Amino acid sequence: MKAFKAFCRQLLKTIASIVALALAIALSIALMPHLSKWIDAVLPDKEGTAITESMVISRYMKESERLETSRIVDEGAFESSLEARVLGTVQRVTVSYEYRASLGIDLAKVGIKASGKSITLSLPDVEVLADSITPLGIERHDFLYPLSDERLQTLLEDEKLKCRAHYLEENNIESEQVWANTTQALENLVENWIAISEKDLEVHFEKASDS
């Protein structure tokens, strides 16, 4: 009789242990998503996700060339005159024009830093990838000294350089918009490469000249 009671007690203990283990497993499974998020928030990224993905980005950067981030279409006008010692003004022209430019960055010059789940891309200065200037109309006062094609081209080239410098100049509305376009275009490109939104990564941008 005593042996039977001991057997029953042992059996009950075994059943209780099995039930407790099953409850612990079920509870762990239920809490796993929340526990994983808590661990990710508290502990460092042991898997080196950001470092791994930054290497992938670096490889894509090297395979790519220049990234166009903005297209400029602008119209303007300039005036030019020529003076003669005796006759005074012998030529005065007003040229209206259309300026077009493609702005972007050289991806080979982008710096990459990784820390935890954060990737920082250090961007080079925006540059003009291609541009052109086309005369739309010419108002001439050049009876004494007619405007030559060569002089017109020289005037247009000078104006193109001024337009180029304006859009690359810092601290004006246009350059700020170009910077915003650049970071957005690069963010979209990186998203296509490594799907950052699905990997809980943060990507930040900075100007190389400021770092």
Q: Which two tokens stand for residue 180?
A: 């915003």
Q: Dmax over Cα atoms in the chain, in whole Å? A: 139
Tens of pLDDT, residue by residue over 87-102, are 878 889 999 999 999 9
DSSP state of 43: S
Tens of pLDDT, residue by residue over 119-139, are 899 999 999 999 999 999 999
Q: Please state, rounded to an integer, the average pLDDT across all residues of the chain.
A: 80
* pLDDT at res. 198: 67
15: amino acid identity, one letter: I
In this model, does residue 32 exceed pLDDT 60? no
Q: Which of 142, 114, 117 is nearest to 41 (CA)?
A: 117
96-111 average pLDDT score: 93
Measured distance CA(55)–CA(188) in Å, rounded: 17
Q: Cα torsion at 201, 203, 204, 207 (round to 10°)?
A: 150
H or E stretch covering 138: strand 127-141
